[in-house]
Structures are given as C-alpha cells and as structure tokens.
C-alpha cells in the first residue's frame, strides 16, 4: 500500500472536488475538505468516512482557513497535497454585462485559491509537497458572457506557473489542471452544448494521475485540448471574428 498522504481540498463536497475526495479516500489517504456549505459527502464507506475531516469554511476567510488547516495538521501531521477546487461559474443568464458578478467570480475563483495557497504553505510537508489549482480550458481565451470566469481561470494558470518557479527551492511543486466540460452541479446549469462531456469520477482519475506525476499543467480531454490549442494560436482578430456570432446569439450588452 502507498504511504498515507495528508490531503486538504477546498470545495471538496461538490463537483470535481467531491470526486477527488472520494478518489483519495478510496486510495487510503487522510483527507480534509472545506466548503461554504458543509454538506455530507455521498458515496463513501464508513471506513473512508473515518479518514475524512469536513469544515464549513469560505475560502475568502483566511483566518477560518488557517484554523481549519491548523486543526487538521495538529491531529494528522503536515500536508502533502493541497487542492484548491472551490469555485463558481457564471450562469445567471444575464444579457447585460454585470461587472459586480465579474468581481464576485474573480474573488472566489482567484483570490480564494490565492488565500488557500498562502495559508497552506506553513502547514506543508517540508520534505516534498504539492499545490494544485483547478482552472479550466476557459482560461486559455476570452469567452462571451463569462468574462469573470475566463479571467479568473486564466489568472490561475499564470499564478501556478510563477509559483512553480518561486516555490521550487522550498520543495513545493505546483500543478494547474485545465478540465474541459465535466458533469457537475455547475455545468448542469449551462444552456449551451458541452462537447466531450465526462463524468466527475472519470475526470478525478485523470486529474489524480496528473497530480501524481507532478506535471506543471494538464489539459483534458485530448480533443478539447487540441481545439483550444488551435484557438489560442489564431490571430486574435480572427478569433474574435469566429466568436462574434456566438456572442451575438448570447445577446451580450453593456
């Protein structure tokens, strides 16, 4: 059996975070999760439940995050892996551009992850540890009607790349995950087509493998990665022309 790891996951009671929590519990690890709504995690055994710690914490509250991590590490030891999975999307259906919504999404997705990493570093295993953020393929380009979501996920990509350099001397690696469409409570609110949609459990397996290999950046599924890669190398004027019909169909206005 592999050495038991101490793992902390924000947003660990829903979506990709919950799927990762179930995966690591099944692997025999000690896991702590936090979320704004401290709901019971479904699909785990009684033995797995005994290795799960759950706290109600908003990732924008650094003191609450610190208290939660301190409590967990005091009981179980330093953290080997921290996964910042807490996040929100933009699904309000507003035809008018809502700058307050953009700020709200940026706060939770980007600053929530920044808070998580900042608070976690003193609690990490000094021999070798890993920080992981859950970004999105949407972070590779500006998409219509989700300015806050695209911007926040883009910021996570560059943040993790910089941290990979800045924290290497402290034996801390950093991985950024860029999923395509994954079946979660957030994506079920989408009103558009979601090509290559996969289950959260299948996504968790792919993410866990990438984390194990400590890759700096992992985009999946492969067909989506190829399409996004092509779109990102297009001249931006051509990209905007291609996306203009979609933006007009969505009815984005000021």
| pLDDT tens digits along 145-163 | 889 999 999 999 999 999 9
Distance CA(134)–CA(157), nearest Å, equals: 9
54-73 average pLDDT score? 97
- The pLDDT value given to residue 173: 97
Whole-number pLDDT of residue 111: 98
DSSP string spanning the chain? -PPPPEEEEETTTSHHHHHHHHHHHHTT-EEEEEESS-PPPPS--HHHHTTEEEEE--TT-HHHHHHHHHHHHHHH-SBSEEEE-------S--SB--HHHHHHHHIIIIIHHHHHHHHHGGGB-SSSEEEEEE--GGGGS--TT-HHHHHHHHHHHHHHHHHHHHSGGGTEEEEEEEE--EESTTGGG--S--TT-EEHHHHHHHHHHHHHHT-SEEEESHHHHHHHHHHHHS-HHHHHHHHHHHHHHHT-B-
Is the pTM higher than 0.85? The answer reads yes
Q: Would you say residue 21 has pLDDT above 80?
A: yes
Domains, the chain: 6-250 (3.40.50.720)
Confidence bin at 247 (pLDDT 50/70/90)? confident
Contact 156, 115 (CB under 8 A): no
| Per-residue pLDDT tens over the stretch 93-143 | 556 788 999 999 999 999 999 999 999 999 999 999 999 999 999 999 999
């Amino acid at each position: 059996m592999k050495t038991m790891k101490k793992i902390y996951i924000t947003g660990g009671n829903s979506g990709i975070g919950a799927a990762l929590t179930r995966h690591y519990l099944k692997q025999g690890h000690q896991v702590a999760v936090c979320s704004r709504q401290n709901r019971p995690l479904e699909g785990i055994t009684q033995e797995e439940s005994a290795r799960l710690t759950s706290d109600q914490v908003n990732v924008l509250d650094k003191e609450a995050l610190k208290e939660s991590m301190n409590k967990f590490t005091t009981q179980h030891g330093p953290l080997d892996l921290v996964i910042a999975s807490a996040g929100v999307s933009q699904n309000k259906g507003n035809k008018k551009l809502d700058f307050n919504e953009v700020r709200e999404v940026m706060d939770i997705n980007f600053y929530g992850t920044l808070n998580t990493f900042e608070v976690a570093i003193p609690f990490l295993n000094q021999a070798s540890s890993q920080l992981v953020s859950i970004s999105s393929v949407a972070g590779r380009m500006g998409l219509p009607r989700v300015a806050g979501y695209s911007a926040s996920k883009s910021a996570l990509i560059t943040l993790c790349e910089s941290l990979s350099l800045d924290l290497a001397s402290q034996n801390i690696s950093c991985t950024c995950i860029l999923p395509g469409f994954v079946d979660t409570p957030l994506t079920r609110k989408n009103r558009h087509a979601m090509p290559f949609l996969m289950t959260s459990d299948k996504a968790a397996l792919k993410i866990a493998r990438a984390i194990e290999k400590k890759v700096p950046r992992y985009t999946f599924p492969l067909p989506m990665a190829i399409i996004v890669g092509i779109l990102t190398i297009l001249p931006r004027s051509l990209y905007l022309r291609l996306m203009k019909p979609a933006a007009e169909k969505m009815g984005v206005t000021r």
